[in-house]
Amino acid sequence: MKTTAWKTLWIMGLFLVAIFLPQCRTQPAEEEASLSQGKVKMDLFKEDFGRLPDGTPVELYTLNNSHGLRARIMTYGAIVVSLEVPDRDGNLADITLGYDSLDGYLETTPYFGAVVGRYGNRIAKAKFTLDGVEYTLAANNGENHLHGGLKGFDKVMWAAEPVREEAAVGVKLSYLSPDGEEGYPGNLSCVVTYWITEDNELKITYQATTDKATPVNLTHHSYFNLAGQGRGDILGHELILEADRYTPVDEGLIPFGELRPVAGTPFDFTSPHTIGARIAQVHGGYDHNFVLRSGGGEPARVAQVFEPTSGRVMEVFTTEPGIQFYTGNFLDGSITGKVGRVYNKYYGFCLETQHFPDSPNQPDFPSTILRPGETYQTLTVYKFSIRE
């Protein structure tokens, strides 16, 4: 009898461990907690995040620094699933829009948190001519091509490996885009690495090589709300953009080719303005490429956003010549995001570092053509701080 009792207790103990141990390993996406400085360490770990319909397993990497900054990144779409940042009181909130589980990302979704490519933004009439050959791409935005087509880089599986530096932890994601994918020429080998640094940065590096000339314009498509995802609109956020010009667009959001001064227009964020102060003067809301003063090449600070209720500040640094400022104009309340929160119009903003839209058809824009023997290499950093 004693032996049977001990076996029963042992089995019950294993059962309880199996139930409660996974729950102790991760925290819910929207859990808020006060930071205990010095008790949180820089670390990363991997876990399962479900399976694709064909059975392919999806991995989720969690990256932490010692100050409480935490990113969760999955191998499907190289998507940032969440980004938790402390406010002025030390409370964490997830500041990116998205879903609690993989299922949401497998439905029709507006690129929440994804790497987009081969070509971020639009290519007019889904066509371009390169070295005398006309290429036809997938038309997935009316007659135009948007963010890589019907199955862009946001909808493919990336191979992943954890990486570490002295003051950063990261995940290196790789994908080989085959010749002809979505109409693009050449086999394009891509590597995107996300880092969480001890300087409270989400740092993203992009590299690519090709065996045939092809356009390349990779970017990151998180929707930010510095008050916390699903907690109202972003119209009260204060924005600075280091850009004296922008590229005006037609009804299909294709640039005319003009670089127009922002001075005296609702597009002038060279001094701080709230996002909502003049948005009613912009047909449909902001969804425009800004021509950065830095011109690209060397890393430079190109944007700053301040949210007054939380005190959170986000600065953007990049080597790219342009940035797409988008205010979530197409969010309409039909999407239920993380922890059941509904995403209405203007509930998130994007700052997508990039080359300009439709550059393959605009000879006066900076070139996006990558050729064999060359390496595409860009850097973007989102840096977080607090303002009292």
14 within domain boundaries: no
Q: How far apart are CA 270 and CA 241, in angstroms?
A: 5
Distance CA 37, CA 18 (A): 31
Q: What is the pLDDT of residue 45?
A: 93
- Is residue 24 a part of any domain in this protein? no
Torsion of CA 214, 220, 223, 226, to 10 degrees: -150
Which of the residues 30, 181, 182, 352 is marked catalytic? 352
pLDDT of residue 36: 35
pLDDT at 40: 53
At residue 151, the pLDDT reads 96
Predicted local confidence at residue 13, as pLDDT: 46
The answer to whether residue 273 is catalytic is no
* Strand duo 219-221 + 114-116: pairing: antiparallel
pTM of this prediction?
A: 0.89
CATH number of the domain to which 378 belongs: 2.70.98.10
Q: What are the C-alpha distances in Å from 4 to residues 12, 15, 16, 17, 18?
A: 12, 17, 19, 20, 21
pLDDT of residue 41: 77
Please check whether residue 43 lies inside any domain of the structure.
no
pLDDT value of position 108:
84
Instruction: State yes or no: is 221 an active-site residue.
Output: yes
pLDDT at residue 388, as a whole number: 86
Q: Residue type for 364, please?
A: D
- 69-82 pLDDT, tens digit per residue, is 999 999 999 999 99
Residue 148 CA: distances (Å) to CA of 139, 140, 209 = 10, 9, 17
Residue 19 lies in a domain: no
Domain extent, residue 173, equals 79-386
Residue 42 confidence (pLDDT): 81
Task: Confirm whether 134 is domain-assigned.
Answer: yes
Handedness of CA 33, 62, 322, 117 (dihedral sign): negative
Domain count, the chain: 1
Q: Within the chain, which residues score under 70 in pLDDT?
A: 1-40
Residue with tokens 């300087």: 199
Inside any domain, residue 65: no
Catalytic residue among 221, 237, 288, 355: 221
**Residue 137's Cα: distance from chain center in Å?**
23
187 in a structural domain: yes
